[in-house]
Amino acid sequence: MEIRYALVKELPDMDYDHAVERTTELLAEEGFGVLTEIDVKATLKKKLDLDFKRYVILGACNPKLAHQALTGEPLLGVLLPCNMVVMERDGGGVIVAAFKPTAGFSLVDNPDVMPIADQVEGKMRRVLDGLG
């Protein structure tokens, strides 16, 4: 499934912990490191005493492509890193979603960065495809 700003994969039979682990592995295979890992469930519990489904935001970065993009458009850092979400799915399983770089980079008035967005998006699609 695809929405305007994200690539989305529903995995009704995948365990949450396995999905986080496998997503991180597949990102590494595509040259991405996870710079940040935000546990939304824990944060909402701690800050607001609210219960929420298991939900993690992985801030992924491919240093080579990030360098190319920042060299061509220094303020592009406001759109980095590329976020991926792993969240529990109602009824079991998980949903994994990735920021759609071509949507974000379309805000930038610099055609030189679009080929980089295309490369990153291709990598994100391969990560989602690799999940099953």
Cα separations in angstroms, 76 against 28, 61, 96: 22, 13, 24
Residue 64's CB is within 10 A of a number of other CB atoms, namely 11
Query: Does residue 2 carry a pLDDT above 90?
Result: no
Residue extents of the structural domains in the chain: 2-130
Cα 121 from Cα 100, distance rounded (Å): 6
Residue with tokens 């939304």: 40
CATH of span 2-130: 3.30.310.70
> Can you give the pTM of this predicted structure?
0.94
Query: Does residue 89 carry a pLDDT above 90?
Result: yes
pLDDT tens readout for residues 66-84: 999 999 999 999 999 999 9
pLDDT tens readout for residues 7-26: 999 999 999 999 999 999 99
